[in-house]
A and B are shown apart, each in its own frame.
Chain A
Amino acid sequence: MTGVARRAVSRQLSKLMFGLCILFAAIIVTLLTLITGYLLILGVKHLSVSFFIREPIAQGNPGFPGGMANGLQGTTVLIALASAVGIPLGMLTGIYLAEYDAGSVFVGTIRFIADVLAGVPSIVVGILCYELLVAPFHRNNAWSAALALAFIMVPIIARTTEEMLRLVPNSYREASMGLGATKAHTIFKIVLPAARASIVTGVMLSIARISGETAPLLFTSLGNDSITWNLNDRFPSLTKQIYDYSTQRATPQEQGLAWAGILVLISLIFVLNLGVRYFTRQRK
């Protein structure tokens, strides 16, 4: 082929690929919008006040199908429990990775392991916590579920905290140390506050992630059809409630509750992501 012809083919190819890239991006946006739109529209149709304030009511009883207040309560409690362990541990690890023992093999290993842990399938984490906290007691409980969620949170918070701390200029640290402050003091009073907004985004992202998890809850807390504060027994959660209602209940009313639940869940995650965007935009 002559040089001119080859260049012409190149140009045609280039135009084609250019168009394909636009097309692919459009396909993705359309597809994902369609899916979300479908879920949201169906959810809106079935959303009502009773969803938020009533527990599930069995068929044949007045007020059927009730709502998913138990799921909302359960997920809130589980997130709170998981965060009580996951946030401090995750942040401490992030602080360790960013501020201490820089360059040592131990730090490199921890960083590596934290990354690897972030990719463990959540059902395997759930099975681990089942073996640790359910099997020995022959009883499903909320603690095992909270542990599983914390397990998922820690690597995410650790890595985002570390990244954000690294972005704080070293001059802050040097100035603080130069004035005689201890390292701990430097971290808590100078560096952390400087990265505060970004660290919060890491926390919000991890909360968004665990609020949508179902698999780790399947064998640990198992789900419960009423609001309960007993952490030593089966515990409700929004995702398990939605999963049960969409796959194991037949009546249209109960399935409607599942749609409403999905809407609420997706909205919560949307709000959290918006918050993350807001905080990171400020940083720029």
Chain B
Amino acid sequence: MSDVSISNLGQTPSPAPPGLTRRKSRWLNWDRVMRGLARGSGVVIVLMLASLVIVLVVAAAPSMKRFGFGFLTTASWQPNERQVPRLDAHGKAVRDEDGEIVMDTIPPSFGALPMIYGTVVSSVLALVLAAPLSLGAALFLVRIAPRVIVGPISFLIEFLAAIPSLAYGIWGLFVLAPFLRNHVEPAAFHALGGVWGFGWLFYDHEGRRHLLTGLDMLCGGLILGIMIIPIITAISRDILASVPRAQLEGTVALGATWWQSALEMMEFGRSGLFGAIILGLARAAGETMAVTMVIGNNPRIALSVFARAQTMSSLLASKFQEAEDLDRSALLEIALILLVMSLLFNVTARWLVVGKDSHGAAAH
């Protein structure tokens, strides 16, 4: 089978020189044991993925049964019951025979839409910031930088990819948010507040002014963008570095400018670069700690980036601990949606970066 390599096909194994091989055990065929263990570990990998999906589906089942597909389209997160006076056709409160106002109980209702919106918009914002910067830096590292500084800068960027989310969150909370609140957002309001067409940026759909606290979708998107720059840069650099020299030399010989040959490089590694970007998107969507600390934690949909928002992961981080029963089940359904989304992103990215070659340049 696969134990046999080309060099000893058809031959009986020659006697081993003393000292090189170990004595074969009489009771245990270590080779078979090893093969079994190795295959077993492959099975464990499958089990890991299976357990993720199965456990989440089972735990989210009560919520899925209760809310159905509406869960994906409802925009609310109300974990408590509300008592509302029942109103008749004229809008007056209905009273029972004792004269007491009849109260209807509105049960808890949960919907994932604000969180899906928050995750998608913050990730896209992050990408808008990170993609140009990362691609530019990758081009710099591959086509411009002298070899001396490529090493240190690459190391710096890889190290920065390893900085924990918590650290970025603390920086965002104590440095970026106050900066936005005290300088950027007021300036934006002064410049654009009265300009026609920008009203949506500063006023919500009920006409109320958005509170400019600095802890909002913009801050979340910026922090996420900063966090995914290292990974997109690193992968893009690898992709661009693996473009064959012949390709480059060809374009230069034809009289292309630096930018034109750079474009050629990017065109050649197009799917890989795309994959790097999707991978960055996946990382941004799954990011938890930094986002929880700066995004404002209000599960509502608003057009403005100056509004508070909530992502799926930040909702889980803030509410899972104290939630019970249906609340918890709804949160688990959110976790399931997050899992599916990240799986989709990762599969797409992998397909783009690694391509049909099953063991090419690996993604991180």
Contact = CB atoms under 8 A, between A and B. Distances in A.
A101 B15 contact: no
B17 A32 contact: no
Contacts of B346: 115-116, 118-119
A154 interface: yes
**Chain B binding site: helix, strand, loop or mixed by DSSP?**
helix
Contacts of B6: 174
A273 interface: yes
B260 A10 contact: yes
B137 A21 contact: yes
B286 interface: yes
Nearest to A123: B288
B35 to A, nearest CB: 6
A215 interface: yes
A243 B162 contact: no
Interface in A172-219: 173-174, 177-185, 187, 205, 208-209, 212-215, 218-219
A77 interface: no
Contacts of A270: 159
Given A123-B288, A173-B5, A183-B35, A28 B162 contact: no
B33 A120 contact: no
B16 A123 contact: no
Interface residues of B, number: 107
A20 interface: yes
A21 B140 contact: yes
Interface stretch (B37-45, B106-114, B191-199, B245-253): B37-45
A96 to B, nearest CB: 4
A146 B146 CA distance: 44
A256 B17 CA distance: 65
A183 B52 contact: no
A183 B45 contact: no
B189 interface: no
Contact of B166 (A154, A209, A239): A239
A83 interface: no
Given A36-B160, A159-B362, A28 B55 contact: no
A247 interface: yes
B59 interface: yes
B124 interface: no
Given A20-B136, A128-B55, A95 B38 contact: yes
A112 B349 CA distance: 12
- Which interface residue of B56, B133, B137, B163 has the most chain A CB atoms within 10 A? B163
A18 interface: yes
Nearest to A219: B320
A63 interface: no
B39 A100 contact: yes
B162 A39 contact: no
Given A102-B2, A116-B347, A181-B20, A121 B339 contact: yes
B289 interface: yes
Contacts of B347: 116
Contacts of A29: 153, 156
A233 B111 CA distance: 34
A113 B133 contact: no
Nearest to A205: B162
A20 B136 CA distance: 7
Interface stretch (A51-59, A66-74, A103-111, A224-232): A103-111
A265 B164 contact: yes
A110 B48 contact: no
Contacts of A117: 45, 48-49
Interface string B126-164: 000000111111011101110000000101111110111
- Which interface residue of B41, B165, B354 has the most chain A CB atoms within 10 A? B41
B288 A122 contact: yes
Contacts of A119: 279, 282-283, 286, 342-343, 345-346, 349
B141 A121 contact: no
Nearest to B257: A14
Given A36-B163, A119-B282, A100 B2 contact: yes
B175 interface: yes
A185 B288 contact: no
Interface in A220-246: 239, 242-243, 246
A47 B32 CA distance: 54
Nearest to B171: A35
B80 interface: no
6 contacts: A14-B258, A14-B260, A24-B135, A93-B42, A115-B363, A123-B317
Given A93-B42, A117-B49, 20 more contacts: A25-B145, A102-B2, A110-B46, A119-B342, A121-B288, A123-B316, A124-B335, A128-B52, A128-B56, A131-B59, A181-B16, A181-B20, A209-B162, A212-B163, A213-B164, A214-B166, A218-B321, A219-B320, A219-B321, A269-B159
